[in-house]
Structures are given as structure tokens and as C-alpha cells.
Amino acid sequence: MSTTKKVTFTAVAVGIGLVAVSACGSSDSGSGKTDSKSVTLVSHDSFNVSKDVLKDFEKRSGYKVNVLKDGDAGAAVNKAILSKDNPQGDVFFGVDNTLLSRALDNGLFQPYEAKDAGMVLPEYRLAKGEKRVTPVDSGDICVNYDKKYFADKKLAPPKSFEDLVKPQYKDLLVTENAATSSPGLGFLLGTAAEYGDGGWEGYWKKLKANGVKVVDGWEQAYNEEFSGSAGGKKAKGDRPLVVSYASSPPVEVLYAKPQPKEAPTGVATGTCFRQVEYAGLLSNAKNTKGGKALLDFLSGKQFQDDMPLQMFVNPVREAAQVPKLFREYGVEVKKPETMDPKKIADNREPWIKSWTSLVLK
């Protein structure tokens, strides 16, 4: 070997050695232990909680909390179902009303009524006697609009589903694939709730004729196609209407530096579908006692107050604090569309099938 090669070789070797040493240093924090002093929460990627709130719970309860984020919402639920005989944790959080029936029918959860179940606002409660899951948060899937676009064009932004098929909004809307994306599915369910089992297909025909664009996931729709988001502006997105969440405008403010006086985007409040997320004690949980304490925590005041700015969803508990950011930059959705989880379960596959052949083909 020539000298330079020797030097390179040595440098590579030393580099690898150094990182290897640091790898060993951190790897002991690795394996998730399941002793009675720790409790494991399985959730999707969007789960978040403030560090001090979680620490406080750990201190009060004496349990160490492991959080396992297991992919997007759909995949996380399916993985939990697949591994239900030998679950990866004790509590699952993040099954929403569109998937609730699949989880319940597969026996994912065992009954437990959280201590503060009585504090859940009436509109989020499930049928009486259903104690296997506890509502934790709610969020609305709504069409968002680019304020600047509509101001420049001196055009009023759309307010309702009916507006979206009007000629002045032709070629402006981008939405997500209902088969692969939860906002996409939410929007489809919203139209089905609004126009009924027999009417939604006719509505989508009109929407298609009015130039709706469908992309695969929220990331593309929001960050690439939508002209009102930070990413979309850079990508020169040209669709001023996008299917996203009612909480997206405050998020645009929070993650901007400097924070603007007004959110750059708005919400068409007549196009919303309400998603409710639930948590439950897994059927074969190893630490049921800890799991119960964790469920009490999720529906407790401290977590419910903390949640909005962590996950950008609304608390379901009476008198939970809505953060200033939400009040100032967000909107209140008065009459969102909803649908019974049972009805969703019965129709979701056939609807997605007909939607796919109607809109994508």
C-alpha cells in the first residue's frame, strides 16, 4: 500500500472504530423490558407528549413509560391486530373511527373504563356499554385554502362541499387517494355522509368533471401541490385548495420563523369530517395494572391539556384548555360530518372500490 492509501485505510478504520464504540455505549438502552415497573404504549407516528407531562406521570404512578410508534395510523392498527396474541405493549392509542370496527371485531382490546370516562364530552362517547375503548382526541379533516390566492383573484374561498363543484373553483382542489391515505378516506366519508349512500358517487362525478386532482398521500398533496403551505410555496404548488386538517393553519404559524400575524391558510368549514381517536387496553397486555393507569392518564386533564400543541388535535374532555394558538389561528368547526364506526366498517371496502374506479380510472 502506498502512504496515501495507508492513511485512508487508517482513517476509515479509526472512524469505524469510533462510531462502533459509541454504538456500544448507547445500545444498552435498547431492548424494551416488560417488568411490572414499566408500561408500553403502542401508537402511530403522530403520537407526541411533552416531556415534563410524561415525566410527571411516571413520577406519580411509579411506571416507566415506553412509547412504541409503529408506522402510520392504518399500519399501526393492523400490526397490533396481527400481534394481538403476543402484543408489543399494554395500551394501544390511535385507532380512529374509520378503523375502530376492524380493531373491535378482531378482539384487540379488553374492557376497561377510564377513571375520567364521565368527563368525555357527550358527542365523542360511544354506545353505552362499550368499554373496550376510550376516546382521546378528535380532529377534523377539511378542505384548506390558500388565503393569498383567493385575495389576489378577488374570489371568495369555498365554504361547503357544494361550492367545490362550482365552475369558479375548477382545477383548484387536490385531495388524497382514499384507498391509501386517511385524510383521503375522511374526505370521501365526509361526502358520503353529506350526500348519502346513493348520492356521493354523483357528487364525485361532478368533482372529477370540475378538475379535482388526486395524489397518493398527504405529504404530496400538502407539501407539493398546495400553493398555501410552506413546502408547496417552494415547490410552486398551483392548487389553492387541499384536503388537510382544521388544525393545519395554526401549525403553519407555529412552524414559521418569524411567526406571521395571521395564518396563511384557511379552512372551508362546511367540508369537514370528524375523526375521533381512541385508546384501549390490549387483550393480552402483560401489565394490565400499568395499562389501566396509562389509560387514566391519556384521558386525564394534564394529558388532554398538553395534547393539542403536541399532536394538533382537539381534546375530548370537558373544559380542557384549548391553546391560544388554536383560538387565534384556528377555526371552530361547528357542524362536522360524522359517521357511525359500524357503518364505516360495512361500507369502507365497497366504497373505496367504487371510488377508485370512478375517480382514478
Partner 1 sequence: MDLARTEVTEAKARPGKGRSRGGAARLGLMAVPVAFFALFFAYPVSAIVGRGLHIDGAWQFGRITEVLGQSDIRHVLWFTTWQALASTALTLLIALPGAYVFARFDFPGKQVLRAVVTVPFVLPTVVVGTAFLALLGRGGLLDELWGVRLDTTVWAILLAHVFFNYAVVVRTVGGLWAQLDPRQEEAARMLGASRFRAWRTVTLPALGPAVAAAALMVFLFTFTSFGVVQILGGPAYSTLEVEIYRQTAQLLDLPTAAVLTIVQFAAVGLILAVHAWTVRRRESALKLVDAATVARRPRGAGQWTLLGLVIATVAVLILLPLGVLIQRSFDGPDGFGFAYYKELTSAEGGAFLVPPIEAVGNSLRYAIVATAIAVVIGGLAAAALTRRAGRLVRGFDALLMLPLGVSAVTVGFGFLITLDKPPLDLRSSWILVPLAQALVGVPFVVRTMLPVLRAVDGRLREAAAVLGASPLRAWREVDLPMVRRALLIAAGFAFAVSLGEFGATVFIARPDNPTLPVAVARLLGRAGDLNYGQAMALSAILMVVCAVSLLLLERIRTDRTTGEF
Where in 123-182 is the site for partner 1 (CB under 8 A)? 177, 179-180
Q: Kindly determine how many residues on this chain lie close enough to bind partner 1 according to the rule CB under 8 A.
A: 73
Residues facing 93 on adjacent strands: 279
Angle at 235 between CA 44 and CA 357, to 5 degrees: 60
| Residues 286-325 within binding reach of partner 1 (CB under 8 A) | 309-310
Q: What does each C-alpha distance from 344 to 170, 192, 270, 314, 351 come to in angstroms? A: 30, 10, 20, 22, 9
**Interacting stretch for partner 1, rule CB under 8 A, among 6-14, 55-63, 189-197, 277-285?**
6-14
Q: Where are the beta strands (DSSP E) in 123-219?
A: 134-146, 173-176, 213-215
Our finding on whether 230 is near partner 1 (CB under 8 A) is yes
Least separation in angstroms between residue 38's CB and partner 1 is 11
**Minimal distance, residue 8 CB to partner 1, in Å:** 5
Nearest 10 degrees: Cα torsion 104, 105, 108, 110: 60
Binder among 32, 62, 111, 196 for partner 1 (CB under 8 A): 32
Tell me which stretch binds partner 1 (CB under 8 A): 72-80, 107-115, 204-212, 334-342. 72-80
User: Smallest gap, in angstroms, from Cβ of residue 313 to partner 1?
Assistant: 13
CB-facing half-sphere around the CA of 215: CA atoms within 13 A: 17
Select 75 or 156, whichever has its Cβ closest to partner 1.
75
Nearer to partner 1, 123 or 216 (CB): 216
Among the residue ranges 25-33, 155-163, 201-209, 332-340, the one whose residues contact partner 1 (CB under 8 A): 25-33
Q: Report the amino acid identity of residue 167.
A: P
Reported residue count of the chain is 361
Closest CA to 70 of 52, 49, 87, 86: 87
Q: Which of 12, 151, 156, 322 binds partner 1 (CB under 8 A)?
A: 12
